[in-house]
Amino acid sequence: MVFLAVLDGTVTAFVLALIALGLSLVFGVMRIVNVSHGEFFMLGAVFSWFAYHWTADSVWGFVLALLIAPVIVGFIAVFSERFILRKVDYNPESTIVATIGILYVIQQLTLMGFGPEARPVEAPIYFRISFPWFGYSGYKLLVAVMSGLCLCGVWLLLKRTKLGLYMRATQQDYEIATTFGVPTKKIYASVFALGGGLAALAGVLVVPIRQADHLMGLEPLLLSFIVVIIGGLGSIRGTIIAAFLIGISDGIISVFYEPTLAKMLATLFVVMILIIKPSGLFGENQQ
């Protein structure tokens, strides 16, 4: 039972890390908090249902969604970055208000196009791994593996490519990066798209485990907020570590008690972190 809870928690942690990483990247480079991040996750899940519905085949639908959903969501992200966030000059508070607006717009448009009911999507593979004393869904392990691969991919992107170099330069100092010829405007757009794409990817991966509905974005948003506050805003390393901390403890508490209690305890944990170190475990000092 404990083992099962830990296993479930690990899967949650991988997905949570993927979502929170998007949020953290956007904050790190652009210094803004994207409240509509959870809706990007929800869109990923919804597109996945459409892909599954059109192809009428769980494997091809899954592959299609995996390829298409992040791209579409990326475009939506670029669009909102270009026409809304740039207009308010990335002022942190205005951005939050604007992204709350985007949240409502995306959520309600989905409600109109997709309907209020939760819709299931079949997993592309179905097998059970039998441990001596219980079986475990193989798909969940696939989710963990694929999330892990994505995390490694983002890490490689940041450390080994020119785009990643530009991103890190913009993160360190926007103005100096601009004077050195880094196309900072484009970097902003691509970071925002990358963040949205990661959330959408997580949505595609998660939807066979749970169902797709237009309100599913709020919970992962709050969890990733908890994660980034604990890990320290903008710190990638802190985000990943905190995601595992929260994901696994969430899994254990959810199995033994109730999911709601897990969320409440996670917030109490945040209180403790705030008392000990207000900038988060790995955050840079704010003053």
Tell me which residues touch other proteins (CB under 8 A): 27, 32-33, 84, 87-88, 92-94, 96-98, 100-105, 107-109, 111-112, 218, 222, 225-226, 228-229, 233, 258, 260-261, 263-264, 267, 270-271, 274-275, 278-280, 286
Nearest residue (CB) to other proteins, 229 versus 248: 229
- Kindly state the smallest distance separating residue 173's Cβ from other proteins, in Å: 18
- Kindly state the smallest distance separating residue 275's Cβ from other proteins, in Å: 7
Nearest residue (CB) to other proteins, 141 versus 215: 215
Task: Name every residue whose Cβ is closer than 8 Å to that of residue 90 and which is 6 or more positions away in sequence.
Answer: 30, 31, 32, 188
Nearest residue (CB) to other proteins, 165 versus 261: 261
- Kindly state the smallest distance separating residue 191's Cβ from other proteins, in Å: 16
Question: Rounded to the nearest 5°, which phi and psi values hold at 127?
Answer: -150, 155
> Residue 55's CB: how many other CB atoms inside 10 A?
15
- Kindly state the smallest distance separating residue 78's Cβ from other proteins, in Å: 16
Question: Rounded to the nearest 5°, which phi and psi values hold at 285?
Answer: -65, 140
Task: Name every residue whose Cβ is closer than 8 Å to that of residue 285 and which is 6 or more positions away in sequence.
Answer: 279
Nearest residue (CB) to other proteins, 161 versus 260: 260
Q: Which helix (H) or strand (E) holds 256?
A: helix 236-256
Nearest residue (CB) to other proteins, 83 versus 133: 83
Question: What counts of helices (H) and strands (E) characterise the chain?
Answer: 11, 2
- Kindly state the smallest distance separating residue 266's Cβ from other proteins, in Å: 9
Question: Rounded to the nearest 5°, which phi and psi values hold at 57?
Answer: -145, 130
